[in-house]
Amino acid sequence: MKKIITFGTFDVFHAGHVKILERAKSLGDYLIVGVSSDELNFSKKQRYPIYSQADRLHIVESLRCVDTVFVEESLELKAQYIKMFNADVLVMGDDWKGKFDHFSDICDVHYFERTPSISTTEIIEVVRSSVFEK
Ligand code: C2G
């Protein structure tokens, strides 16, 4: 059985998230998703996610294409997570292109093109401006 692993915050879950997860699953049989903890997200983006860690895990876990979720506590633990789950392929969006190439000694590394014109940051901006324009 071919196992795929991917990581992300998946805050304000949107179509770009679902599309990368579906494409990741299409590379194998079993999809494992590391969902960034609230603290990890704060350290990466200097803000806490809009959706709680528990809700983000719940949403991702509920998808048909996802088989297992776990909390990604640290970016530095990636190699350990890959080995722990025995993953054959690491998938990331191409905003991370090149950043994970060094894992190619333990698994295949595959970057998918990001879905254009949609992002959590953009959704937050649209909602914020529509609230303040009224
Ligand atoms: N994504 C995408 N298209 C978009 C937006 C996001 O394909 N329009 C992909 C990203 O490339 C990423 C995944 O969806 O592979 C999750 O995106 P984020 O939640 O923004 O992930 P990020 O906070 O970058 O966390 O260890 C790595 C990090 O945990 C990745």
Q: Which of 36, 37, 82, 113 is the pocket-test mutation for ligand 1 (most atoms within 8 Å of CB)?
A: 36
Give per-residue pLDDT as tens, 70-89: 999 999 999 999 999 999 99
What's the pTM? 0.95
Burial class for 87, CB neighbours closer than 10 Å (0-12, 13-18, 19+): buried
Give per-residue pLDDT as tens, 10-52: 999 999 999 999 999 999 999 999 999 999 999 988 999 999 9
Asked if pLDDT for residue 95 goes beyond 70, the answer is yes
- In our burial notation (b when 16+ CB lie closer than 10 A, e otherwise), range 46-60 reads eeebebebeebbebb
Q: Which of 114, 117, 123 is the pocket-test mutation for ligand 1 (most atoms within 8 Å of CB)?
A: 114
Which pairs count as long-range contacts for 37-44, CB under 8 Å and 24+ apart, including other chains?
Answer: 37/71, 37/72, 37/73, 39/73, 40/72, 40/73, 40/74, 40/75, 41/9, 41/11, 44/9, 44/75
Relative to the CA of 118, which ligand 1 atom is closest?
8
Asked if pLDDT for residue 134 goes beyond 70, the answer is no
- pLDDT value at residue 30: 98
Asked if pLDDT for residue 130 goes beyond 70, the answer is yes
Give per-residue pLDDT as tens, 97-119: 999 999 999 999 999 999 998 99
Asked if pLDDT for residue 132 goes beyond 80, the answer is no
10 lines ligand 1 (CB under 6 A): yes
**Which residue's C-alpha comes closest to atom 24 of ligand 1?**
8
- Report the chain's C-alpha Rg in angstroms: 15
Relative to the CA of 20, which ligand 1 atom is closest?
7
Class of domain 3-133 (CATH, top level): alpha beta
- pLDDT value at residue 121: 87
CB atoms within 10 A of CB 42: 13
